[in-house]
Amino acid sequence: MTEGIRRAIPADAGAITAMIHALAEFERAAEQCTVTETQISGALFGNSPTVHGHVAEVDGEIAAMALWFVNFSTWDGVAGIYLEDLFVRPGFRRRGLARALLAALAAECLDNGYTRLSWAVLNWNVDAIALYDGVGAAPQREWTTYRLSGPRLAELAGPP
């Protein structure tokens, strides 16, 4: 059995999109996930990519993915990586693929002089929390995440 982590390529867009939908279902929010393969392909591989990706392959099959983007720390004055999604297909779990993807992103940080690798986790996802604790990540409990979207976002923006 061969396993490996690599940067996502255009041919991976379908598998990545399917995993995003599977993640939304796992997170009990499938009805909120409307992303298409075309959107993911454009976001990852268009003229101005807004997200980057790594995939884990097992015997040539895409088994897991990590989608991330570059953010910036005003305190450090240096960029970092924000991990938007990490997902391992159920049949490939408990093989170390999630940890290997995190390690690839940590290496990406070091290779680019970035100072942080950050992400959020649902407070009920105990398996993910155990992994993150196991790699030495520290929860940022003093921060509360906020989101503004849909009609409330439009309301705040005001008239066009």
Give dist(CA 119, CA 146) in Å, integer.
14
> What per-residue confidence (pLDDT) applies to 3?
92
How many beta carbons lie within 10 A of that of residue 37, not counting itself?
Answer: 14
For 12-61, the pLDDT digits (tens) are 999 999 999 999 999 999 999 999 999 999 999 999 999 999 999 999 99
Place of tokens 């997902």: 87
Q: Where in the sequence is the domain holding 137, given as residue range(s)?
A: 3-157
> Would you state the pLDDT for residue 135?
95
Question: Is residue 1 over pLDDT 90?
Answer: no
The number of folded domains in the chain is 1
**Per-residue pLDDT tens digits for 95-143:** 999 999 999 999 999 999 999 999 999 999 999 999 999 999 999 999 9
pLDDT of residue 160: 79
The three state secondary structure string of 32-101 is HCCCCHHHHHHHHHCCCCCCEEEEEEECCEEEEEEEEEEEEECCCCEEEEEEEEEEECHHHCCCCHHHHH
**CATH assignment at residue 33:** 3.40.630.30
